[in-house]
A and B are shown apart, each in its own frame.
Chain A
Amino acid sequence: EVQLLESGGGLVQPGGSLRLSCSASGFTFINYAMTWVRQAPGKGLEWVSTISDSGTFYSDSVKGRFTISRDNSKSTLYLQMSRLRAEDTALYYCAKSLPGSRAFDNWGQGTMITVSS
């Protein structure tokens, strides 16, 4: 069974930094592209970043501030977030890609980030 477990969320001041982790199990992690998607309170889903064999990709809203990475030996996905803003406040999900489909077939339960002074 595929499992994705996010961690690292919390309260951070504007301008601060935080690193999210997503621990994966139940599949061969190295073989799959992985993605972060966020959802602000009461709002819709927003794609944040994807890491694949082709490289790393970011939404315009986080480019230059967030860095996605992975440690395949630990089956763990990361999102290093810096220069955080109030508008980054959201529940952050990690998601596994369905190969070749550009879709996300497994999601974690999310970790909440609140950016506030």
Chain B
Amino acid sequence: QSALTQPASVSGSPGQSITISCTGTSSDVGGYNYVSWYQQHPGKAPKLMIYEVSNRPSGVSNRFSGSKSGDTASLTISGLQAADEADYYCSSYTSSSTLRYVFGTGTKVTVL
């Protein structure tokens, strides 16, 4: 199972909006509405930001939103803040032959 494809880096100025893409296949991203997104600050554990493509867990800012079209999912961060600078990973459920998950390659978000 290959990792989902994300851009290595995305940057934006404070207040701007950025979008991170996550491209898979019909066996994972395109086949299920089980895409999730995680934020990871250096030296810290990942934090769930979006689940089931577009749902936010309690406590996550509504500046974070998710969507999906075909085999590509996206995470949009609006009103970019310095605290948003981190690595972001997408993940998808896939059950090609048995239950499994696949993560994206990761995107470094830089706030200019």
Q: Chain A interface (Cβ within 8 Å of chain B)?
A: 35, 37, 44-47, 50, 52, 54, 57, 59-60, 93, 98, 101-110
Contact = CB atoms under 8 A, between A and B. Distances in A.
Interface string B17-56: 0000000000000001010101010000111100110010
Nearest to A95: B46
A59 B45 contact: no
Nearest to B90: A45
B100 A98 contact: no
A101 B101 contact: no
B89 interface: yes
Nearest to B48: A105
**Main DSSP-derived SS at the B contact region:** strand
A54 to B, nearest CB: 7
B45 A44 contact: no
A44 B52 contact: no
Contacts of B55: 101
Given A98-B57, A101-B34, A101-B51, A47 B45 contact: no
Highest count of chain A CB atoms <10 Å: which of B1, B38, B48, B98: B48
A59 B48 contact: no
Given A50-B99, A102-B93, A102-B101, 9 more contacts: A37-B46, A37-B103, A44-B106, A45-B38, A47-B101, A98-B57, A105-B51, A107-B45, A107-B47
B86 interface: no
A102 B34 contact: yes
18 contacts: A37-B46, A44-B3, A45-B38, A45-B46, A45-B91, A47-B91, A50-B101, A52-B99, A93-B45, A101-B34, A101-B36, A101-B55, A103-B36, A103-B52, A103-B91, A104-B36, A106-B48, A107-B47
